Amino acid sequence: MSDLGLNHLYSGKVRDLYEVDDRHLLMVASDRMSAFDVVMSEPIPQKGRVLTALTNYWMTEFAGSVPSALVSCDPKVIDGIVPGFLSQEAWHGRSMLVRRAEMLMLECIVRGRLAGQAYDEYVARGTVHEMAVAKGMKLTDAFPEPMFTPSTKAEAGHDVNISVGRAAILVGADRLHQAQELCLDLFTRAATAMADVGLILADTKFELGFVDGELVVCDEVLTPDSSRIWPADEVHSGETPPSFDKQPLRDWLDSLGWDRTPPPPTIPEDIVALTSSRYVDAYQRVTGRSLTDWYGA
Query: Which domain range does residue 21 map to?
Result: 7-101
pLDDT at 107 over 50: yes
| Cross-strand bridge partners of residue 230 | 200
User: Which pLDDT belongs to residue 153?
Assistant: 83
Q: What string of DSSP letters covers 184-238?
A: HHHHHHHHHHHHTTTEEEEEEEEEEEEETTEEEEES--S-TTTEEEEEGGG--TT
Is residue 91 domain-shared with residue 53, that is, in the same domain?
A: yes
| Cross-strand bridge partners of residue 35 | 38
* pLDDT tens string 203-241: 999 999 999 999 999 999 999 999 999 999 999 999 999
Instruction: Name the residue among 124, 169, 119, 172 with its Cα closest to residue 147.
Output: 119
Task: Specify the CATH number for the domain of residue 230.
Answer: 3.30.470.20
Give the CA angle between residues 6, 217, 278 to the nearest 5°. Answer: 85
pLDDT at 194 over 50: yes
Is residue 96 domain-shared with residue 177, that is, in the same domain?
A: no
How sure is the predictor about 258, in pLDDT bands with cuts at 50, 70 and 90? very high
pTM assigned to the model: 0.92
Is residue 85 domain-shared with residue 148, that is, in the same domain?
A: no
Close Cβ partners of 124 (under 8 Å, ≥ 6 residues apart): none
The DSSP output letter for 62 is T
Is residue 250 domain-shared with residue 199, that is, in the same domain?
A: yes
In a domain, 288, yes or no: no
In a domain, 283, yes or no: no
Is residue 35 domain-shared with residue 171, that is, in the same domain?
A: no
Is residue 172 domain-shared with residue 203, that is, in the same domain?
A: yes
Is residue 129 domain-shared with residue 265, that is, in the same domain?
A: yes
Question: Which of these three, 76, 101, 126, is where a domain ends?
Answer: 101
What value does the mean pLDDT take over residues 75-99?
97
Question: Which of these three, 101, 121, 137, is where a domain ends?
Answer: 101
How many C-beta atoms lie closer than 10 Å to residue 120's C-beta? 11
Task: Specify the CATH number for the domain of residue 57.
Answer: 3.30.200.20
* pLDDT tens string 116-154: 999 999 999 999 999 999 999 999 999 999 999 999 986
Is residue 173 domain-shared with residue 47, that is, in the same domain?
A: no
How sure is the predictor about 79, in pLDDT bands with cuts at 50, 70 and 90? very high
Give the rounded percent of residues in the chain with a pLDDT score beyond 90.
Answer: 89
Phi and psi based region of residue 131 (left: phi greater than 0; alpha: psi -120 to 50; beta: remaining): beta
What value does the mean pLDDT take over residues 167-186?
97
pLDDT at 1 over 50: no
* pLDDT tens string 10-32: 998 899 999 999 999 999 999 99
Is residue 95 domain-shared with residue 112, that is, in the same domain?
A: no
